Amino acid sequence: MSRLESFIRRMDAQRRLLNDAMADVADKDGIVLELGLGNGRTYDHLRENMPGRDIYVFEREVRAHPGCIPPDNRLYLGHVIEQLEKAAAELGPRAILVHSDVGNGDEPASIDFGRTILAPALRPLLAPGARILSDQPVPVEGALELEKPADMDPERYYIYRYLG
């Protein structure tokens, strides 16, 4: 598969799973966490499709498209783990949707980080019923991994429902 084809498939999977997750939580109260602003593409998609929903963004260095920068009072700037701890104290267990896209391309290190560091740091922020969508495994205690569409690369994205 060409790199262009692979990129398109990855973006298509991301959009489909984000749309599915947003539909899943549409009738539930709660805030949204976006881990990894990047250039702001997925943040922009979330805010456009969930008007009125509070979206908190975690990013160590903002380099997004100028039109996709969250307001200061919705931005946790710094290392994601330190900022999740801060957010847990400030926001409590209110997240109904989490989208995490902080993998760094170093697959073994990303997988280890997701399992052992990111998953426990996320848990205090989750509301029962929360949907988690992540580019790396985040097996939060109390969460169930959900099936992905059959035509999707099983190792591109991971989806969970937090049962509480």
Ligand X SMILES: C[S@@+](CC[C@H](N)C(=O)[O-])C[C@H]1O[C@@H](n2cnc3c(N)ncnc32)[C@H](O)[C@@H]1O
Please report, as ranges, the residues that interact with ligand X according to CB under 6 A. 36-42, 58-61, 79-80, 101-102, 104
> Which of 15, 5, 61 has its CA nearest to residue 38?
61
Give 23 or 77: the residue with its C-beta nearer to ligand X.
Answer: 77
Give 40 or 70: the residue with its C-beta nearer to ligand X: 40
Quote the least distance from Cβ 52 to ligand X, whole Å: 21
**Judged by CB, which is closer to ligand X: 81, or 152?**
81
Question: Position 14: which residue type?
Answer: Q
By beta-carbon proximity to ligand X, the closer residue of 24 and 59 is 59
CB of 154 to ligand X, least distance (A): 20
* Residue of minimal Cβ distance to ligand X: 38
3-class DSSP assignment, residue 73:
helix
| Cβ contact 163:143 at 8 Å | yes
Nearest distance from C-beta of residue 90 to ligand X, angstroms: 17
Say if CB 140 and CB 95 are below 8 A apart: no
Q: Are 122 and 93 in contact (CB under 8 A)?
A: no
The CB-of-14 to ligand X minimum distance in angstroms stands at 7
For the chain, give me the number of helices (H) and strands (E)?
5, 7
